[in-house]
Amino acid sequence: MSGILEGKRILITGVLMESSIAFHTAKLAQEQGAEIILTAFPRPTLTERIAKKLPKPTKVVELDVTNAEHLTRLEDIVRAELGGLDGVVHSIGFAPQDALGGNFLNTPFESVSTAMHVSAFSLKSLTMACLPLMQEGGSVVGLTFDAQYAWPQYDWMGPAKAALESVNRYLARDLGKQNVRCNLISAGPIGSMAAKSIPGFSELADVWNHRSPLEWDLNDPEPAGRGVVALLSDWFPKTTGEIIHVDGGLHAIGA
């Protein structure tokens, strides 16, 4: 039996460490039959080293999603490598240190602007850069952290994720006529590089120890990766503008 991504061509951002959701998405995508290409910033060499741990070799492209030149050249690079795309994975988020860790009331707009640009607007930028490569439709999947609530220490990344979730809905609205689906996975906390950059991350993650109906493992990104791969596949042909929770069920529990 062939994999659920057999014949698919997928661009994946955010592979920084073997512990990242993006890495496990890339690994699972290859195992399920996809050809993939990775993007990296600011250290492509780091991603190239991590990529050697994937089942098959893959090209790594430098991509700063806030750089118009990088976004413009992406189409030609991917077309030369894969011919086109059937899916895009947005696993990008960043906020300056003064926008995190309990500094919400004192964060300057410049830092908020950076968080919004990299973490939310980039979903639109990346999707539009890849859209000419998805002539027969496709699936765009991003990663969020449930923006319904104010989380300890998360500060301006919370509003940035709320913006990301809204951008996803508008992309779904505007790209449906081109048969491009846009969805998000809302994952529970994972001990990735991004998480470790959040001061007091352990306090935030500890909520899962007390409230998650299903046991949650901070060191296991594979469930979230499986969710991404499922949305990239043809098994969700009429699902768009959606947020699928892979969080042990915590989002459903009030207290």
Catalytic annotation, residues: 154, 161
Residues 6+ apart with CB under 8 A from 104: 155, 156
Residue type at 109 in one-letter notation = F
What is the torsion angle, in degrees rounded to the nearest 10, for the CA atoms of residue 153, residue 162, residue 241 and residue 129? -100
Residues 115 and 121: their CA atoms lie apart, in Å, by: 9
- φ/ψ bin of 30: left (φ > 0), alpha (ψ from -120 to 50), beta (otherwise): alpha
Residue type at 166 in one-letter notation = S
Residues 77 and 61: their CA atoms lie apart, in Å, by: 8
Residues 19 and 191: their CA atoms lie apart, in Å, by: 7
The number of CA neighbours under 13 Å toward the Cβ of 120 is: 22
